[in-house]
A and B are shown apart, each in its own frame.
Chain A
Amino acid sequence: MSQPAIKLAPPPPAKTEVSSSWRDGWRSFRKNRLAMVGLGIIVFFVLIAVLAPFIAPYDYKEQELVNRLHKPGGEHWFGTDDLGRDIFSRIIYGTRISLWVGISSVVGSIVAGTMLGIVAGYYGRWLDALISRFFDILLAFPGILLAIAIVAALGPSLQNALLAIAIVNVPVFGRLVRARVLSLREEEYIMAARAIGMKNSRILWQHILPNCLGPIIVQGTLGIATAIIEAAALGFLGMGAQPPEPEWGKMLSDSRQFIQNAPWTVIFPGLSIMLTVLGFNLIGDGLRDVLDPRMKS
């Protein structure tokens, strides 16, 4: 008589499930050939960035004025620039700057955007209205233009360019997380968690945040690609890295006046930007297919 009407199934062993879902994800990611090409490109550039001092044949600051605008060849693989600096070495060191700016600015945008998005989505009401309008306003500016405005105010430097790019991309992540939280909030298991008196902070941390991770990772990877282009654009406009930093965008603008006689000074930095961006875009597309099937194109 005292038998319970419903027998609860034992909770699934959480740990193995998580790891197996990651393993499943990796398996289907690995099948995506383009995504693997992207991963290859990025691993290649990360290795270059890490091992820069061992790979670069010259110091990126070292000027050899007798050897200025030297054609690519055995001594200087990618040629030299107008100050006789080895372009190959400069590109290698430039990898560090581009990866650093791309990744750290996106991490900044993710942290700020996620916090604002969660607060807006979970607590709603006037906080939501306020934060959402703030996102609307930031998104009302074309990204690069807002970044230019921020750097114009703060002064040109790599640090300020990084900050500007991070600020510009906050609403991208904020909106994403807010939308996700809004739908999660209505899920039964969240209501159940609330009903048993779980604290908001714990619900957010243990249930909501992990469920936002997929789209964040996808958007984050694609965001790194955008951030690298934006940083190079700011550098190109003279608003990012300052000389003698070997930032790729800055290298392009410094060399453009020599393009007719020394096209290699412009070709290689541009190719590097394109390849890195392509790599992150490919990984991002692949991750989207795995982590966020609804966005699948």
Chain B
Amino acid sequence: MLNYTIRRLLMLIPVLLGMTIIVFSIIHAIPGDPAEVILGEKASNSSKEALRKELKLDQPLLVQYGDYLKKLAAGDLGTSIRTREPISAEITPYLAATLELTLVAMAFAVFFGVNAGILSAWKQNSWFDYLSMLIALIGVSMPIFWLGLMEQWLFALELKWLPSIGRMNARDPVESVTNLYLIDSLLSGRADQFWTVVKHLILPGIALGTIPMAIIARMTRSSMLEVLRSDYIRTAKAKGLSQMFIIYKHALRNAFIPVLTVIGLQFGLLLGGAVLTETIFAWPGVGRYIFDAIASRDYPVIQSGILIIAFIFVLINLLVDLLYAAVDPRINFK
């Protein structure tokens, strides 16, 4: 296992390097003069020259890339053109906001997806099975930005049950410690704010979690169906074990490996989907940070934001691979 972990970590190196090359190329792929694109056509020659110097665009490409890598290794993600702040400091609260949203969305997706999948497989061809698979089918075909807009319209604007945008009651903020507001509001002992934070999380969480939920439900169902037909399940039934015990203890453990793969993959997609969800719900996360940066042509922020999300994505995929061993002792990594 240790060997396998080390090998997987070493295999990450070329991928990470490749990622930096792609992200580094973004600014160089701009047709024409990047400085002019960033500052606008009316910018003076001297300010364009200054920006070129600042972004080191006047240096040879290899020197630029070497410099970029050196800075990255030191944890320097560059400086935002718009705010003049170092990105590594600026991005932290945005990252926390995205993390909170994706974790909630994933929890929603896994809980409902896995259980709906189990129940569908157990009661195969029942009305529940048909209904949940129909919902899953529509779920995977749903553009999340549209689902988000519809939720906002129905539950926030028409029914006024839930807030339509933001993360919490901004007029009465709690002290940020972790920037995860669920935790921060608890830390400061503010039950009222905790409840507002929960309410703010519901709509974007569901919007973001629906597609993964649908995919997880379909995967769990088909994987469970396969396992439920196997001999050892029949034996367990013959021994008179309870249904719940058979399903959650015997069947799910074996059925869970493909589901785990899907969950890991979906987590990465959530990070991408967060860009759209955060735009709709004015959620101050990395997705929105990148989106705003695109609107104001803040290329260093675009580059670093995308790099960070891709980096997290790669780490999650690695974790999922390593988790296999924990879930399925049959997997041998030699």
Interface residues, chain A, with chain B CB atoms under 8 Å away: 34, 133-134, 136-138, 140-146, 148-150, 152-155, 225, 229, 232-233, 236-239, 249, 252, 256, 259-260, 263, 266-267, 269-270, 273-275, 277-278, 281-282, 297
A276 nearest in chain B by CB position: B141
Q: Are A155 and B31 in contact (CB under 8 A)?
A: yes
Say whether chain B's binding surface is mostly helix, strand, loop, or mixed: helix
List residues 252-285 of chain B with CB under 8 A from any CB of chain A: 268-269, 271-273, 275-276, 279-280
Q: Are B276 and A236 in contact (CB under 8 A)?
A: yes
> How far apart are the CA atoms of A133 and B14 in the complex, in Å?
7
Since A150-B29, A281-B140 are in contact, a sample of 5 more A-B pairs with Cβ atoms closer than 8 Å, ordered by chain A residue number, is A137-B15, A153-B30, A232-B145, A233-B143, A237-B276
Q: Are B146 and A274 in contact (CB under 8 A)?
A: yes
Contact for B146 among A141, A154, A273, A297, CB less than 8 A: A273
Interface: B222 (CB within 8 A) = yes
Chain B residue contacts of A236, Cβ below 8 A: 143, 145, 276, 279
Would you mind naming 20 contact pairs between A and B with Cβ atoms under 8 Å apart?
A136-B18, A137-B15, A138-B22, A140-B310, A142-B271, A144-B276, A154-B30, A155-B31, A237-B291, A239-B294, A259-B157, A260-B153, A260-B158, A263-B153, A267-B150, A270-B146, A270-B149, A274-B146, A281-B140, A297-B219
Interface: B96 (CB within 8 A) = no
A142 nearest in chain B by CB position: B272
Q: Are B269 and A142 in contact (CB under 8 A)?
A: yes
Chain A residue contacts of B309, Cβ below 8 A: 141-142, 145
Interface: B26 (CB within 8 A) = yes
B19 nearest in chain A by CB position: A140
Q: Are B149 and A266 in contact (CB under 8 A)?
A: yes
> How far apart are the CA atoms of A141 and B23 in the complex, in Å?
10
Interface: B103 (CB within 8 A) = no
Q: Are A133 and B275 in contact (CB under 8 A)?
A: no
A233 nearest in chain B by CB position: B276
> How far apart are the CA atoms of A259 and B240 in the complex, in Å?
56
Q: Are B153 and A259 in contact (CB under 8 A)?
A: yes
Interface size of B in residues (CB-CB distance below 8 Å): 51
Contact for A149 among B21, B22, B152, B280, CB less than 8 A: B22
Q: Are B143 and A154 in contact (CB under 8 A)?
A: no
Chain B residue contacts of A267, Cβ below 8 A: 150
Q: Are A297 and B222 in contact (CB under 8 A)?
A: yes
> How far apart are the CA atoms of A95 and B208 in the complex, in Å?
26
Given the known inter-chain contacts A133-B15, A142-B310, A153-B26, please indicate yes or no for A249 contacting B143, CB distance below 8 A: yes
Contact for A141 among B137, B143, B310, CB less than 8 A: B310
List residues 154-194 of chain B with CB under 8 A from any CB of chain A: 157-158
> How far apart are the CA atoms of A240 and B24 in the complex, in Å?
23
Interface residues, chain B, with chain A CB atoms under 8 Å away: 14-15, 18-19, 21-23, 25-31, 137-138, 140-143, 145-146, 149-150, 152-153, 157-158, 218-219, 222, 268-269, 271-273, 275-276, 279-280, 290-291, 294-295, 299, 302, 306, 309-310, 313-314
> How far apart are the CA atoms of A232 and B143 in the complex, in Å?
8
Q: Are A149 and B18 in contact (CB under 8 A)?
A: no
Given the known inter-chain contacts A142-B271, A259-B153, A260-B157, please indicate yes or no for A149 contacting B23, CB distance below 8 A: yes
Q: Which 6 A-B pairs have the closest CB atoms?
A: A142-B272, A137-B18, A270-B146, A153-B29, A278-B141, A297-B222
Given the known inter-chain contacts A134-B18, A237-B275, please indicate yes or no for A281 contacting B143, CB distance below 8 A: no
Q: Are A148 and B276 in contact (CB under 8 A)?
A: no
Given the known inter-chain contacts A136-B18, A142-B313, please indicate yes or no for A148 contacting B290, CB distance below 8 A: yes
Q: Are A274 and B141 in contact (CB under 8 A)?
A: yes
Q: Are B294 and A145 in contact (CB under 8 A)?
A: no
> How far apart are the CA atoms of A263 and B272 in the complex, in Å?
27
Given the known inter-chain contacts A141-B19, A152-B26, please indicate yes or no for A281 contacting B279, CB distance below 8 A: no
Most buried by B among A145, A238, A256, A277: A145
Q: How far is the CB of B246 from chain A (nearest CB, A)?
A: 22
Contact for B143 among A133, A148, A256, A270, CB less than 8 A: A270
Q: Are A145 and B271 in contact (CB under 8 A)?
A: yes
Q: Are A149 and B143 in contact (CB under 8 A)?
A: no
A143 nearest in chain B by CB position: B272
> How far apart are the CA atoms of A31 and B157 in the complex, in Å?
44
B14 nearest in chain A by CB position: A133
Q: Are A145 and B275 in contact (CB under 8 A)?
A: yes
> How far apart are the CA atoms of A34 and B141 in the complex, in Å?
14
Chain B residue contacts of A133, Cβ below 8 A: 14-15, 18
> How far apart are the CA atoms of A274 and B147 in the complex, in Å?
10
Q: Are B272 and A145 in contact (CB under 8 A)?
A: yes
Contact for A259 among B149, B291, B306, CB less than 8 A: B149
A225 nearest in chain B by CB position: B141
Chain B residue contacts of A149, Cβ below 8 A: 22-23, 26, 302, 306
Q: Are B143 and A144 in contact (CB under 8 A)?
A: no
Q: Are A145 and B146 in contact (CB under 8 A)?
A: no
Q: How far is the CB of B275 from chain A (nearest CB, A)?
A: 7
Chain A residue contacts of B290, Cβ below 8 A: 145, 148
Chain A residue contacts of B23, Cβ below 8 A: 149
Q: How far is the CB of A75 from chain B (nearest CB, A)?
A: 24
Chain A residue contacts of B18, Cβ below 8 A: 133-134, 136-137, 140
Q: Are A136 and B269 in contact (CB under 8 A)?
A: no
Contact for A274 among B30, B142, B273, CB less than 8 A: B142
A147 nearest in chain B by CB position: B272
Q: How far is the CB of A205 from chain B (nearest CB, A)?
A: 31
> How far apart are the CA atoms of A200 and B218 in the complex, in Å?
41
Chain B residue contacts of A238, Cβ below 8 A: 295
Q: How far is the CB of A87 from chain B (nearest CB, A)?
A: 15
Given the known inter-chain contacts A144-B273, A274-B141, A274-B142, please indicate yes or no for A137 contacting B19, CB distance below 8 A: yes
A270 nearest in chain B by CB position: B146
